[in-house]
Structure 1
């Protein structure tokens, strides 16, 4: 084991460099094989790339998430939430957060979300290309949050604009000018959610948001911090995942056919595999509170660490043929939703909403095609997303049989995944 600074070979582009962001996987593959606990001199961060070591970073209490957020390459503070705290404060906030995003909160939404997906597909124009990012992903994410937050249709455009603007706060290395815009947008989003919550409570509207707002375990600032995190850390990744997934799926026509024929369980497996290969959240930050010895090297106390989840998700020690798309991969212990105490609270909702959309989409439009050539990846590091992904729908399938009802899948997390209590 070594913690000495190692340089990438000259033929590999640094994954954080503008030219390396479109395809960071070769660099991560080399690091995972040659220097899995790597001190990056440019960013002054330790990059952890193996699955076993990333799992330790996510679960070991010597890795502080609260300090990890404070040590971002940013000078702003995020609002109080599960993301910015360690146990026991984390557990105190997470329990009420389940009122917004936990299985019991989203279970009653299942039938409505299935109807939203069908309405979204019904509205797609077949005489011109549609964008998987703007016309599918963002609209799906907004429909989901409309049900969670009790948003009227007249508010969709405003909410989506605020969510998109505030999502810049996901990127720990965004340039200063954009960081300032992100701070302003996050403040505007919080102000909007504050007023919206007040209106819903006054009107007696019963949705997951008002259940959270009525919980007396939280201060108003803590409640708004959880709402803010739910939008910034949930709306944008869900919106971007659809484009990422279709980029992976559509070139493999056999995989498209399998997904079109998928039942509930197969659809969920497919979504997990697509998340494994291109999850919108590629890494997460921690700071060590003590010296930690990992399989791949030793981290000193006070080390600023990135658990590179996208590298861990292609570790050949865990995944056979790790760069291949296998829609039926099981088990699939990917880290696309994190792990340990900070395992994504919205994971069941995100996973199953995508499992509602993707099979219905390829079933409805069997000739669906994506663009030729390399996709246009955005330059931001987090979320990992496509700038656009134009789709040719082709004709809708004639005499389309009713899609299998996947709404009951919202009733519980996927049994193969850990969810912290």
Structure 2
């Protein structure tokens, strides 16, 4: 085992209160000096370079299933892609495309575009938004998942409440009392979706529920993971994106003139800068060697995606937005066999709303309040982001949204 130095004085540990607000100085130091680092504070290995994270995410020696078990012992999360590896993971992942794949998203694109317009209609009536996540991100994420699940709008409030409660299940460092609440919420969500699946109208959920490749419990596990891995990242990505986009009039103008591909390119850059899911947990099944070092068997490991996404060996001007950056091999959705199945949903729905917003409100600017980063590890989220929308240019369709979320 290679001994690596600790963080120098003056740099907050990324899991400390100050480091949770701004982890990037610690990530930068670790990536430069100890990219494969045994962290004495957490007892985990922190992997921070892009090359090391890419190798880790592809290597079967790093188990996602064991990583979830180590996150909270006696974990009763449903069986899903999050809690399996290898052949079991692949068997569950294929039917998941019925819920989150291109055809599923295309089937709801017109309705979601109308939902996005309705979100912006409410915003226009307010004029000033007090919290962009709550007033833009949350209703959009709820509408997208509600459409995919075939839920009536009367059930969307329940979905949003449960989705927020289960998001703690993404945090591999959640303390035991919080983890227990997250598992209890997952049980409630599972029962809610189970009852709805019995009588779902034609929808991606109905097609998934009828798929003979899955048992009932496996189907519900896929649904629960779609909420955990889709709702929260989409809701938070809107606020995180606006934090970078709103203060830059040139970037907003470029997004207004972008085609569908250009809008997705911009969304990828915004996700690279502030991924709502900043790391993912693994456990080594055997000794594993990465470009930056060797990790013994039986160790808890975090692939620090947020650090990899700002690696200067891969990204020029890594801490600044380059909205036409291409290629952009960011790891905001992980990589390898466990690449996030909701990636398409988050990218396309986010690009849809942001593009419609800058077309409809070309003078939108940050509001007078000072936003702050929440002191949470997962999700990485901006709070208190207010928005002065300015004049409403109308609801005409912009060039990008013809592609909708099903592009």
> Which shifted more, 270-279 or 384-393?
384-393
Distance 1:134 1:402 in 2: 24
1:119-168 deviation digits (Å, cap 9, x = unpaired): 21122124443421101000000110111001111111111111111112
- How much does 1:90 deviate? 0.4
1:146-193 deviation digits (Å, cap 9, x = unpaired): 110011111111111111111121112223332222121111111111
Q: 1:20 corresponds to which residue?
A: 19
Q: 1:339 corresponds to which residue?
A: 335
SS of the aligned residue for 1:284 comes to: strand
Q: 2:63 corresponds to which residue?
A: 64
Distance 2:378 2:213 in 1: 31
Distance 2:402 2:100 in 1: 16
Aligned pairs for 1:207-222 within 5 A: 207-222=203-218
Distance 2:104 2:349 in 1: 14
> Which shifted more, 247-256 or 72-81?
72-81
* Structure 2 residue runs without a partner (length 5+): none
Q: CA 1:17/1:73 → structure 2, altered by over 3 Å: closer, same or farther?
A: farther
- How much does 1:402 deviate? 3.1
Question: 8 Å contact 1:74–1:173 — kept in the other structure?
Answer: no
Question: 8 Å contact 2:258–2:400 — kept in the other structure?
Answer: no
Q: 1:161 corresponds to which residue?
A: 161
> Which shifted more, 66-75 or 320-329?
66-75
Match of 2:379 among 377, 383, 406: 383
**Residue 227 (str. 1) matches residue 212 (str. 2):** no
> Which shifted more, 215-224 or 169-178?
169-178
Aligned pairs for 1:22-421 within 5 A: 22-73=21-72, 75-124=74-123, 125-200=125-200, 205-371=201-367, 375-397=371-393, 401-408=396-403, 410-411=405-406
- How much does 1:390 deviate? 1.5
What is the alpha-carbon root mean square deviation over aligned residues? 1.6
Question: 8 Å contact 1:6–1:39 — kept in the other structure?
Answer: no
Distance 2:372 2:402 in 1: 33
Question: 8 Å contact 2:117–2:395 — kept in the other structure?
Answer: no
Question: 8 Å contact 2:112–2:405 — kept in the other structure?
Answer: no
Distance 2:49 2:368 in 1: 33
Q: CA 1:224/1:402 → structure 2, altered by over 3 Å: closer, same or farther?
A: closer
How many residue pairs match? The answer is 406
Question: 8 Å contact 1:174–1:380 — kept in the other structure?
Answer: no
Distance 1:108 1:99 in 2: 11
Question: 8 Å contact 1:126–1:395 — kept in the other structure?
Answer: no
SS of the aligned residue for 2:119 comes to: helix
- How much does 1:29 deviate? 0.4
Question: 8 Å contact 1:259–1:267 — kept in the other structure?
Answer: yes
SS of the aligned residue for 1:71 comes to: helix
Question: 8 Å contact 2:276–2:379 — kept in the other structure?
Answer: yes
SS of the aligned residue for 1:396 comes to: coil
Whichever structure has more helix as a proportion of its residues is 2
TM-score (structure 2 length as normaliser): 0.96
